[in-house]
Structure formats: structure tokens, C-alpha cells
Amino acid sequence: MSGNNYFRWIGTKRWGPGALGALALGSLSSPAQAQWAREPDMPSGSATSYLVENFSAKDWQLSNFAPAEDISRFQDMRFGLLVSFGITTRDKAELSWGTVDKAHRRMPDGDARSDGVHTPTEPWVNWANDLKLENFNADQWVKQAQDAGFKYIVFTAKHHEGFHFWDTQLSDFKVTKSPYGRDLLGELIAASHRAGMPVGIYYSQRDWYRPSYQPTGFGKDGKQPGPEHRKYIDYQFSAVRELLTNYGKIDIFWWDALWWGGMFNKEMWDAERLTREVRRLQPHIVMNNRASVPGDFDTPEQRLGGFQNWRPFEAAVSLESTWSYTGAAHKSADEVISLLVSSTENNGNLLLSIGPHWSGDFDSAEMATLRQVGQWLTRNGVSIYGTRGGPWKAHPWGGSSYRGATAYVHAQAISGERVEMEMPKAKRIRSVRLLNCAANGAGSDGSLDYTIKDGMLAIHVPAALQDKLDTIVEIQFYQDLADVAPIAYAGDGVAGLGAAPSPFDYELVYGPRLQAGVSVTASSLAPHDAEVDLANVVTHPVGTIQSFSTDSQVGAEIDIALDRPGYVTGIGLAANAQGAPLQLDGSIEGTTWTMLWHSPTGEPASQWDIGVNSFHAGAQTPGRLLRFLRIKVQGAEPKVLELRRFHIWTKDGK
């Protein structure tokens, strides 16, 4: 299924004036660069990627899922708040990961293996003795979420460090044994119910505190569960029963032990039986895919999902660069809005994470930013809430959402005063207008001029009416749009030779594309390319690309050196080796190399957008520290390596 487009791109949006949007180019090296679950008949990129958990048709059919109407309600909400909090955030460090070092994290997250008897003795274990939450007010938290435009809230019940934020009867490592002394989770759920706000529970199956947590690290191969782990499974069933019977209706259950190529698996939790117990207790609940069973929705982390209309997704992104509150710089209101719009266009939800202060209140500056988001949604939420992605997939100008017979064009990068797209077949337009427009040059109702010619719809949007963040055009049709197959951009798919953008043209996530500061060498050069500026394939401006080739040789390679190390996040590669497979390697110092990618067996494509990731805070996220890159032909036969494009995206920090 390597030729299928749907799962092979990162659904991102441009950032910055005039930057281009992302398209489903059908060439990402790892499927959607996120955590996905799929059955054989679903669109997919690579069945071998550690980022996608593949299920047999039988296992998928025998698993459990929420009723369709509950999944639809979840999609309607579009914008959720994840409150990330744990005792390890006391010192403004990353949640769990920033405090517990690898030597003391329980396997498979670290090197420690529980003896089945003793709890950890590190200082963080006693930090709950300082937990007073003197400024906490559950009703205020929920009101702040509503003012920001969130439609549901997910609260942390237990993170990886194992501390319980509810009054569990299964452990004394809990909030009611702290100076705060009350059931924090229970108060938050009750406040949500009072406000009519749907509520979810985040619960990590990992537990670096409880002695019986032994999911792996035992047996002759070191990969078997320990002798006490059955007790941990029994504890986990009891914990989940407490959470789902003591607090009334729960709308979402958010697991957090990703598959990651087999790092975690369903046997570690008896997950099929566990998730069925969840649905027995709360029949209308929706669950994510992080228990190694399919669940109801996919979960891209610290990135956005691509267009996906066969199964819901929810992109989990933090307001700061960390999940916990640290006081570091946070995303602006415009950046959050851009994330939300992009997720909506791609038919997904956005779960934005924020963390409170240790004292129990949210940061005032972060709340001010989120109020700006809420104000934007008050004006424009009709184009977000209750919509589905489409009918137009990502175009250079942006993307779209729709509800019934009304489409919302989110034009975030208009070139000139014209927005053009293919007209949906067998549909007729009733009206075209700017959403919430002060009609300054448009009709009194914000109406815009448009033409339809040769199957193309062109809308005239005067420059004076364009919004630098998101110009929203409402198109009302006479017919419902639900039966329209998603319309892909039909422009030139070769970056640098046309208008088609790259999946990495979202600077907030991937950083800028390098346009200077690189050198390129080759193992040999074809005679006709002796005078070519080799670095042009990396740094060229749009429309000025100059390709080159090696001589025919065994193991032909081309090397790229950055002037200084940087976190490489993405590579746009256009190359051909006369049908031979290619391999991309990376290095920091130029002597020790790590394979980053290889072309799929039998892959006919010669263009690839390759995401470069590394493990951070329990997830594979964009960015690996590198200075040297090389593309090399594999095989024992002499081949010519032609390089037409080698675009590199980098950022300064992880």
C-alpha cells in the first residue's frame, strides 16, 4: 500500500505572511508522523512504521468501540483542554520526565526494574507533602476554560510518576494525604458537571512508583512481565472502576502508554478486557488509542494530523514547549488559532495542554492569551464547532471545513486577491460572503464576487478585507456537502517548480527551511555537472533549482554539511538512482552515523518528505540534533544518483 496518499503526510499549516500551506503529497516517510491505529482496509503509508499500530481485520472487528453518535459528538466539540499536572511539576520541570531520570524510571521507559516490594526513595516521592493548592478553585478553572472557547476538559488523574489526584482506596500516594487534603479530581469533575462542560479523565497506565508495576524486563529474553505484574493489572482494573463509578458521567478516557513499535502492548494491561470494562461502566464514553487496542480516535502528539475522514483524530499540543507549567515562553493566540484551524480543516480535534502553578492557579499571562483565542472563537466559532474537514483539502491558500450545505474557506495565505479551487460536482452556490465582515468594500452582508469557469471556482477577496491570520469565506450551497469526496489540490506537486507547498511549511513545529549555511559534496560528478553549484539543491529560491548527478558507480553518495549543528525536523528529497533503493543517514560529528530513512521496497516515487524525530518526554516528536546528512544508493550494481532537491527544515531547540 506504499502508493496510497492518505496516511503519508503531516497535516500542517504555514506560519508567517505569505508562507504556503501543506498538501497531502503522498510521500511522507512515516505515516502521518503520529500515533495511529489501523486495520488492513484503512488508508496507510507503511505497515512497518513503529508509529502506526497495525491490527488484523479480525482483531479490529473483535475490539470495542463507542457508539457512532458519541464519536460524532466528540468530533463536534473540536477544541479541548488538557490540564497537565503532577507532583513532579513542583520545581517547574517537565511532567514526570523532567524529574525522574532514566536510571530510576521503570522499564520500558527507563532502566529501573521494580523488585515488587519497595517504592522509590528519590526526593520527588515526598513532594506531595508540600502540595497545598492554596489558590485552587475548581469552578474558576472551568469558567476560564469556557472563556477560552474550550468545549471539553480532560483532567490528569494519574501521570507516569504514579501519584493519584483522586481519593483512591488503593494507595496512600494520593492527593487526600497531602496538605491539600481534598479530592482534587472529584472537585473538578463536579465543577464541570455544574457548568455543563463535557469532561474526560487522563490516566497513564505507566507507574514508576507502585512496586507491582513490572510490565517488562524479566525472563530469559528480558522482555517478559515480572511475577508481581498480575497484581498491578488487578490494581489498574480497580482504579479504573473507582474513576468511572464515583464521579458521575465521564465523556472521555485518555490512556497514555503508546505502542511505539512494541514498547507497550495490550497484554501489559489486559487491555481488551480493561477497555470493555470502561464501556460497561460508561456506555457513552470515547477512548483514545493509547492502550494498544484501536480505541475511538488517533492521537498525534506535539504535531498536527493530516486530513483523515475515515477515523477521528485529536492532536495533543502543549501551550508551552512542555506539558507542565514552567514559566517558559508560550504560544501566542494567533499560533493557537492556527493550530485549531488546521486541525479542523483536516477533520480533527485539537487538545491544548496547559499546566497550573504549584499553588493551584493558572498563569495570568497564559490565561490572557487563551481569552484572546476565546474572543476569536466567539466571532468565528461557527466555522470550527460542529464542522467536518472539507470539501477542499489543504491548498496553498489554506483549507476548509463544512457543516451541511455551508462550507467555510479558511484562507490563511492568499496570493493577491483571488482564492481558487475546484467546484464540487453537482453542487450549486447560493451565496458567497466574508464571515463576520464589517463590509468594507464587500456587499452590505459581506458578499463577495465569484466566478465559475471550466469547473473552477474563483473568489475575489479585496486586499482591504483580508485578515492576516485567517480570512474566512462562507459559501452556502443549495445541496448538502456530506457526499462530496474530499477535493485535493490539483497544482504542481514538485516543490520549487510550482505552487505546491511542503508538509513542513509550519514554522511553529518544524522551524524555517535552510536557505544558507550548508555545503554539498558528492562521491563523483557527471562531467556535464562539473560547474554546478551543488548547494543549490538545498538553498535555492523557488523556481531556480539546478539538479546534478554522480557518475555511475557502486554506492554513489551525496553529503550535506550544515555550518553548525541544529535540530533537523524535516527533509524534502527529490532523487533518483535508476530504480535502486536509497538510504538517508545523519550524524552530529561526521563519523558515527544513524539511519534516518530508507526508500520503501518497490517504491516507485522519487519524491519524499521525510520527518526527522527523536524521543522526548515519552513521545517521538520533530527534531534530531544533527550537522551532517548523506543520501546513498544501496545495492551492488553501479548506479547514477541524481539529486533534484534536498530541502532541510531546522529549529534551534527540541
Question: Residues 259-277: what's their mean pLDDT?
Answer: 92
Sign of the alpha-carbon dihedral angle for 545, 550, 554, 555: negative
pLDDT at 211 over 70: yes
Q: How far is CA 330 from the centre of its chain?
A: 17
pLDDT at 645 over 60: yes
31: confidence class by pLDDT, cuts 50, 70, 90: very low
Q: Residue 155 and residue 86: Cα distance in Å, rounded?
A: 11
Average pLDDT value for the chain = 88
Q: Which positions ≥6 away from 562 have C-beta within 8 Å?
A: 514, 517, 518, 626, 627, 628, 629, 648, 650
Query: Are 15 and 508 within 8 A, CB to CB?
Result: yes
For the ranges 85-89, 232-236, 474-478, the lowest mean pLDDT is seen at 85-89
The reported pLDDT for the residue numbered 261 is 73
Question: Which ranges of 20-89 would DSSP assign to H, the alpha helix?
Answer: 57-62, 68-77
143: confidence class by pLDDT, cuts 50, 70, 90: very high
504: confidence class by pLDDT, cuts 50, 70, 90: confident
C-alpha separations of 381 from 286, 344, 480 in Å: 23, 11, 20
Q: Residue 431 and residue 448: Cα distance in Å, rounded?
A: 8
495: confidence class by pLDDT, cuts 50, 70, 90: very low
pLDDT tens digit string along 432-488?
Answer: 999 976 444 555 678 999 999 999 999 999 999 999 999 999 999 999 999 999 998
Q: What is Dmax (Cα atoms) for the chain?
A: 78
Question: Residues 188-199: what's their mean pLDDT?
Answer: 98
Q: Residue 648 and residue 514: Cα distance in Å, rounded?
A: 6
All domains in the chain, ordered by first residue: 69-383 (3.20.20.80), 388-477 (2.60.40.1180), 511-651 (2.60.120.260)
pLDDT at 10 over 50: no
The reported pLDDT for the residue numbered 13 is 37
pLDDT tens digit string along 146-178?
Answer: 999 999 999 999 999 999 999 999 999 999 999
Closest CA to 81 of 335, 376, 352: 352
The reported pLDDT for the residue numbered 155 is 98
Query: Residue 451: in which H helix or E strand, if any?
Result: strand 450-453
Q: Are strands 518-522 and 450-453 parallel, antiparallel or unpaired?
A: unpaired
The reported pLDDT for the residue numbered 521 is 95
Dihedral pair phi/psi, residue 215, rounded to 5° = -70, -20
Three cell numbers written together for 644: 533534484
**Secondary structure of residue 114 in the 3-state scheme:** coil
Amino acid identity of residue 425, one-letter, is K
Closest CA to 259 of 620, 629, 641, 640: 620
Q: How far is CA 489 from the centre of its chain?
A: 22
Percentage, residues of the chain above pLDDT 70: 87
pLDDT at 610 over 70: yes
Three cell numbers written together for 307: 486530513
pLDDT at 28 over 50: no
The reported pLDDT for the residue numbered 510 is 82
Sign of the alpha-carbon dihedral angle for 148, 149, 155, 161: negative
pLDDT at 9 over 50: no
619: confidence class by pLDDT, cuts 50, 70, 90: low
For the ranges 354-358, 506-510, 595-599, 606-610, the lowest mean pLDDT is seen at 506-510
Strands (E), 204-300: 252-255, 286-287
pLDDT at 39 over 50: yes
pLDDT at 421 over 50: yes
202: confidence class by pLDDT, cuts 50, 70, 90: very high
The reported pLDDT for the residue numbered 5 is 26
Q: Residue 73 and residue 264: Cα distance in Å, rounded?
A: 30
For the ranges 76-90, 285-299, 436-450, the lowest mean pLDDT is seen at 436-450
Helix/strand/coil percentages in the chain, nearest 5:
20, 25, 55
For the ranges 173-177, 200-204, 285-289, 442-446, the lowest mean pLDDT is seen at 442-446
Question: Residues 558-577: what's their mean pLDDT?
Answer: 93
pLDDT at 199 over 90: yes
Query: Residue 353: in which H helix or E strand, if any?
Result: strand 349-354
Q: Residue 145 and residue 153: Cα distance in Å, rounded?
A: 8
Which letter, b or e, does each residue of 295-329 get, where b requires 16 or more Cβ atoms within 10 Å of its Cβ?
bbbbbbbbbbbbbbbebbbbbbbbbbbbbbbbeee
Amino acid identity of residue 104, one-letter, is H
Dihedral pair phi/psi, residue 647, rounded to 5° = -80, 140
